[in-house]
Amino acid sequence: MAERTLFIVKPDGVKRNLVGDIVSRFEKKGFEIVQLKMFTFTKPMAEEFYSVHNSKPFFGELVSFITSGKVVAAVIEGNNAIATTRLMIGATKSYEATPGTIRGDFGLGITDNIIHASDSKESFEKEVAVVFK
Ligand code: CMP
């Protein structure tokens, strides 16, 4: 069933010139790129985007990091997009992510974990409204 999801190459991924590699993985997997843009999160946008985490001890660090540089956001479409994209990005803690996943191949960080992707239809709808408004 065709479904849409959103991913964001975080500031560490952009600074390390990983945008092409990452977008390419999703294209080669068979997803269609529906929307794509580079921008920098403002603090209010980041606080809204990550509002589900606003009571967590790492919230301040998370907002500070995601606003620290340019990001690339994409809406992609294809079968089972939300769950398949989560499999492709790997575990949140990059040092635990399975090799072959994006975090598993490219990183070691937690806050700086290269890529974000929506974890549910509800998250996608909320996140796409913040990023592509
Ligand atoms: P992301 O998929 O963007 O969703 C929330 C982010 O919080 C997560 O990736 C991590 O970058 C960040 N984060 C920072 N510290 C933690 C932590 N201790 N546990 C989970 N996520 C964390």
Express each pLDDT in 70-89 by its tens digit.
999 999 999 999 999 999 99
Rounded average pLDDT over 13-25 = 98
Over 90: is that where the pLDDT of 64 sits? yes
Structural domains in the chain, sorted by start = 2-40+71-131 (3.30.70.141)
Take atom 18 of ligand 1 and give the residue whose Cα is closest.
58
**Number of the ligand 1 atom closest to the C-alpha atom of 112:** 11
Q: Is the full-model pTM beyond 0.85?
A: yes
pLDDT of residue 133: 85
Cβ of 10 below 6 Å from ligand 1: no
Take atom 20 of ligand 1 and give the residue whose Cα is closest.
92
Contact 128, 6 (CB under 8 A): yes
**Number of the ligand 1 atom closest to the C-alpha atom of 89:** 2
Rounded average pLDDT over 128-133 = 96
Contact 93, 104 (CB under 8 A): no
Rounded average pLDDT over 81-105 = 98
- Shortest CA distance to 73 belongs to which of 113, 3, 16, 130? 130
Is 53 labeled as catalytic in the residue annotation? no
pLDDT of residue 4: 98
Contact 81, 31 (CB under 8 A): yes
**Residue 133, SS3?**
coil
pLDDT of residue 122: 98
Span from the CA of 60 to the centroid of ligand 1 (angstroms): 11
Span from the CA of 93 to the centroid of ligand 1 (angstroms): 8
